[in-house]
Amino acid sequence: MKRRSVLNNQSVRKRGKGSVFLFFNTIHRLGSCLLKVSLLFVVIGVISISFLSLYHYLLKSPYIRLEEVDMRGVDGEIKNELIKMCGLDDKRSLLALHLNELKQKMEKHPWIRSVKLERRFPHILIVQAEKEIPLALILRDKVYYMNRWGEAFKEVDKSEEMDFPVITGLSKEEADVKKQLGIAVFIIKILESEEGQWSLNELSEINVKKDGELSLYFNHLPVEIKLMSDLPTIAGSAYEEKWAADFSNGLDGLKKVADHLRQTGRIHQVTKIDLNYVDGAVVTFGKV
C-alpha cells in the first residue's frame, strides 16, 4: 500500500510539472506572436509616417511646383478665365491638384463642353478643352447660342456675335423643344453642304412650330419657304436619308422657281413658296 501511494505521489508530481511547463510554453508563444505583431505594426507605422512626411514635403517642394498651364483648344479671354476660376495662377504644388475637381469647375464655364487634364511632372498641367461652337441662335424669352447637338449652352450677350441663323416658334414644353431643335439641326447640317445664295451662311431664320410645320427664311429672299412637316426624328435612320434626299430635290426645285421669278421680274411680289408638295412648289403672291 505504501509503495502504491508513493508511486501515485510521483505521478501527481510529474503531471504537475508537465502542466506548468505547458502553461509557460503557451505564454512564451503568445508573447512571441504579440511581439512579432507589435513589430509589424511599428514597421507599418514608420513606413506610413515616412510616406506622409515625404508627401507633405513634396507638397511644399519647389521641385514639383506648378509653373505652366498648357491650355489647348481655347486661348485668350477664355483661357485666362479658366485659370482664374480654378486658382491655377498661385504656383501651388502639381501633386496637390485634384484633377476631377478641376475638370468639374472648368466644364461649368459656358463656352467649355468637355475637358481632359494631365499632370506632366515636374511643372506642367496640360488642359485639353473642347470649346462649344455656336451653330445657331435660339429665340425664346432670351437669345441663346445652340451647338451642333441642339443644346442651348449660353445666353448671348449684347457684345457677342449674333451672325447666325435664328430658330423661332419654339414651344414652351421642354420635350417639344428638344424635338424642334433636333429638326433645326437636321436642316442646318443639310444646308452646310450648299454654296452660294442657298448656303447656311445665307440662312436667316428657321421657324419650327409645335405641330412640325417648318419654314425657312433666307437673306436674299425674305419670303416664307414652307417645308414638308413629316420630318424624321431618329438620327441615322433610313427615313432620315430619304427625307434628306427629298429635301435636296426640293431645294433644287426652289432654285429653279426663284430663278424663274427673277427672270420674269416677279420675285419681289412673292410672299410664300410652299415645298410641301411631292410634285412641285406652290408660290403665293402678295397684292401689288
Domain ranges of the chain: 2-60, 64-131, 136-285
What's the whole-number mean pLDDT along residues 143-160?
96
- First-to-final CA distance of the chain: 150
Q: Which residue has the higher pLDDT, 244 or 103?
A: 103
Q: What is the spatial distance between Cα 216 and Cα 80, in angstroms, rounded to a whole number?
A: 39
Q: Do 64-131 and 136-285 come out as alike in CATH topology?
A: no
Q: Which residues contact 179 (CB under 8 A, 6 or more apart)?
A: 233
Topology of the domain covering 64-131: Ubiquitin-like (UB roll) (3.10.20)
Least confident range of 58-67, 138-147, 200-209: 58-67
pLDDT of 45 reads 74
DSSP string for residues in 122-167: TTEEEEEEEE----EEEESSSEEEE-TTS-EEEEPPTTS---S-EE
Least confident range of 133-142, 204-213, 222-231: 222-231
- pLDDT exceeds 70 at position 14: no
Helix then strand count (H, E) for the chain reads 5, 12
Core vs surface per residue 22-45: b (16+ CB within 10 A) or e:
eeeeeeeeeeeeeeeeeeeeeeee
CATH architecture of 136-285: 3-Layer(aba) Sandwich (3.40)
By CB atoms closer than 10 A (0-12, 13-18, 19+), residue 165 is: buried
Closest listed residue to residue 232, CA positions, set 250, 252, 212, 216: 212
Mean pLDDT value across the chain: 83
From residue 174, how far is each of 72, 74, 149, 152, 232 by CA, in Å? 34, 31, 15, 12, 19
Q: What is the spatial distance between Cα 283 and Cα 153, in angstroms, rounded to a whole number?
A: 37
Closest listed residue to residue 162, CA positions, set 136, 196, 201, 189: 136
Q: What is the spatial distance between Cα 247 and Cα 254, in angstroms, rounded to a whole number?
A: 10
What's the whole-number mean pLDDT along residues 179-208?
92
- pLDDT exceeds 70 at position 232: no
Is 212:230 a contact under the CB 8 Å cutoff?
yes
pLDDT of 229 reads 58
pLDDT of 246 reads 74
pLDDT of 6 reads 46
Q: Which residues contact 207 (CB under 8 A, 6 or more apart)?
A: 167, 168, 169, 214, 215, 216, 217, 224
Q: What is the spatial distance between Cα 102 and Cα 104, in angstroms, rounded to a whole number?
A: 5
Q: If you ran DSSP here, which 8-state letter would residue 252 be given?
A: H
Cis peptide before 165 (omega within 30 of 0): no
